[in-house]
Amino acid sequence: MDTDTSFLEGDVVWIDLSPVVGREQNGRRPAVVVSAADYNELVDTMLFVVPLTTVNRGWPNHVRVFGPTGLSRDSWALTEQMRAVSRERVSAVAGAVDDKVLAAIREWIAVFLGMGDEPKP
């Protein structure tokens, strides 16, 4: 995908996360862009993303995604695996998550970074 593409927070993108180390999510998979629009406009080489999985482990920090995602299967955001990636890893934009989903993902990221309290169920 062209690295000049504009990405918005909440976009669902197809991304290749390989190679990885240890238990990081790998392979070609969807991910949610969580970096702010201003960051995405200013830094035209990188994005912050949270990978998605189709496996529901029942973990409270795995946020179910919905909205016009462009995905054919139910998916969950692996909020504990946020990472910075090169835009060169992105192959396509599939859709976007609902604003409530993005807010829930960001709440969990804040918890993991020590900047927020665990969300109430």
pLDDT of residue 87: 96
pLDDT tens digits for range 44-75: 999 999 999 999 999 999 999 998 999 999 99
Grade residue 22 by pLDDT with cuts at 50, 70 and 90.
confident
pLDDT of residue 9: 96
Q: Tell me the average pLDDT across 14-30.
A: 86
114 sits in the region (left: phi over 0; alpha: psi -120 to 50; else beta) called left
15 pairs with which residues across the strands? 29, 90
What does the alpha-carbon distance between residue 75 and residue 106 come to, in Å, rounded to a whole number?
17
The residue ranges of every structural domain in the chain are: 11-112
What does the alpha-carbon distance between residue 100 and residue 106 come to, in Å, rounded to a whole number?
10
Query: Does CATH number 1.10.630.10 belong to domain 11-112?
Result: no
3-state secondary structure of 16: strand
CA neighbor of 90 nearest in space, from 10, 23, 12: 12
pLDDT of residue 116: 83
Grade residue 119 by pLDDT with cuts at 50, 70 and 90.
confident
What does the alpha-carbon distance between residue 78 and residue 61 come to, in Å, rounded to a whole number?
7
pLDDT tens digits for range 89-105: 999 999 999 999 999 99
The secondary structure of residue 22, as a DSSP letter, is: T
Counting Cα atoms < 13 Å in the Cβ hemisphere of 73 gives 10
